[in-house]
Amino acid sequence: MEALQALRNVARNPQQVAREAKKGGKKVLGYRCAYVPEEILDAAGVVPYPMFGTPEAIALADSYFQPNICEFVRNIFDLALKGKMEFLDGLVLCNTCDAVRKLYDHWRTYIKTPFCYIINNPQKQFTELGYEYQYEELSHFRKAVEEFSGSAISDSVLQDAIGLHNKTRSLLRQVYAVRKQDPPLLSGEEALDVVMATMVLPKERANDLLKRLIPELEQRSQPPVAPGPRIMVTGSIIDHPTLIRMVEESGGMVVADDLCTTTRYFWYPVRENRDPLGALARHTTEKPVCACMHPMEARLEYMLELVREYNVAGIIYFNLMYCDPFLYEGVLFKKKLEAKGIPTIALETEHTPSGIGQLKTRVQAFLEML
């Protein structure tokens, strides 16, 4: 399992790749979230770094953000304040939740990197007006990245970047196919690592490893998890394997996941056409993967597609405290999913889950019920 191990090593130390790129003279921009088109950064020769948090306790950021603000955002800002994001030349965010929008304001005021940008993507999806607005937004973003990087982004280079990223998406789908088997040939914890590593790595390198990973997994003789109910994990961002590992140690097989660090990143390919910016604008206004977006029916349908494809028996929502979009959705979707015969539990967690024992009790009770 050489490729798997290589990917997992990257996931355990996600900053390393970006740091090396920085040492090699590249410009590196941190970004969040699934609606930031990495392809534009790649096309300009800028390294996109998907910012992850760490399990370490928040220290400095608590005097900037009130404690009722998303712990993930506070964690990211804390790392920046502590100088642990010093390899970043800037930040790119998009219009999702209040906490992310305020991260932009704080970063610009207190971190002061050479580049700081927020893409004001419309939250009402699947409308022509939204598409046109997003097209303009991405045009401005493209120009800003060109000025920052000093590299013009031609349509053909952007087209190539989209093709490369689509290849990554397609390979990740193939990797995920082994999770459809019973038992799955890739555990939930491993899947999280594979996608997180893919997000961090240059796409050529990621694609190479993913191509090698697929036969490795298909030839796997020993399933990585003990038999149990087929579980899908969803909710707020998870950037550390603790919670997923806890589900698998409790007897559940995590066969699918709908997370910012897993399927939301790759499930939908960019529909390539002659106008690459138009393709990206279409992609970001028709990708219904986040609870911040409307209409919710599109996102529910995407989740049901995952449930069907991976033959999911139950869904666990891990919602970060104060993450309003998913906390609201968790309550609403629990009813809707259960009405369709899919048992669902919504749990409130912290980014560094200190109360893991209590969560485990509830997860075990849920698994026993299935």
Partner 1 sequence: MIAFLERHGFRFDEERLAQAVKRSRRTMELRQEVEEYRKAVPVPMTTVDALSCIGNTLITLLGSDAGVEIMRRLRDEVSLRVRDKQGVIGDEKLRLYLVGVPPVYNLGLLDYPEKYGAVVVKSDLDYIGGCVMAPELLVPERPLESLALKQLADIVNPCYETRIDMAVETVKEYHIDGVIGLNKRGCRNLPAALRLVKDAIYRETGVPMTIFDLDGIDAREYNDAQVKANIDSFMETLIQHRVGG
Q: What is the contact surface with partner 1 in residues (CB under 8 A)?
A: 63-66, 68-70, 95, 97-99, 101-102, 104-106, 109, 118, 120, 322, 324
SS3 29: strand
Residue 33's Cα: distance from chain center in Å? 7
Choice between 5 and 109, CB closer to partner 1: 109
Q: Which two tokens stand for residue 90?
A: 């800037």
Peptide bond into 353 cis (omega under 30): no
In contact, 185 and 220? CB cutoff 8 Å: yes
Choice between 10 and 97, CB closer to partner 1: 97
User: Smallest gap, in angstroms, from Cβ of residue 97 to partner 1?
Assistant: 7
Choice between 66 and 219, CB closer to partner 1: 66
Distance CA 21, CA 364 (A): 43
Distance CA 234, CA 305 (A): 14
Cα–Cα nearest to 349, from 276, 259, 285, 284? 259
User: Smallest gap, in angstroms, from Cβ of residue 122 to partner 1?
Assistant: 12
DSSP per position, 228-279: --EEEEEES---STHHHHHHHHTT-EEEEEE-TTTHHHHSSPP---S-HHHH
User: Smallest gap, in angstroms, from Cβ of residue 67 to partner 1?
Assistant: 9
- What residue spans of the chain are helical by DSSP H? 2-12, 15-23, 38-43, 71-81, 98-106, 128-149, 155-177, 188-200, 203-218, 242-249, 263-266, 276-285, 296-309, 324-339, 356-369
User: Smallest gap, in angstroms, from Cβ of residue 103 to partner 1?
Assistant: 8
User: Smallest gap, in angstroms, from Cβ of residue 113 to partner 1?
Assistant: 17
Choice between 64 and 135, CB closer to partner 1: 64
Choice between 87 and 104, CB closer to partner 1: 104
Choice between 122 and 229, CB closer to partner 1: 122
User: Smallest gap, in angstroms, from Cβ of residue 66 to partner 1?
Assistant: 4
Please provide residue 4's backbone torsions phi and psi, each rounded to the nearest 5 degrees. Answer: -60, -45
Task: Please report, for residues 69, 71, 256, 290, the alpha-carbon distance to residue 323 in angstroms, rounded to integers and kept in the order given.
Answer: 8, 9, 22, 12
Distance CA 94, CA 14 (A): 21
Choice between 63 and 222, CB closer to partner 1: 63
Choice between 26 and 101, CB closer to partner 1: 101
User: Smallest gap, in angstroms, from Cβ of residue 86 to partner 1?
Assistant: 22
User: Smallest gap, in angstroms, from Cβ of residue 107 to partner 1?
Assistant: 11
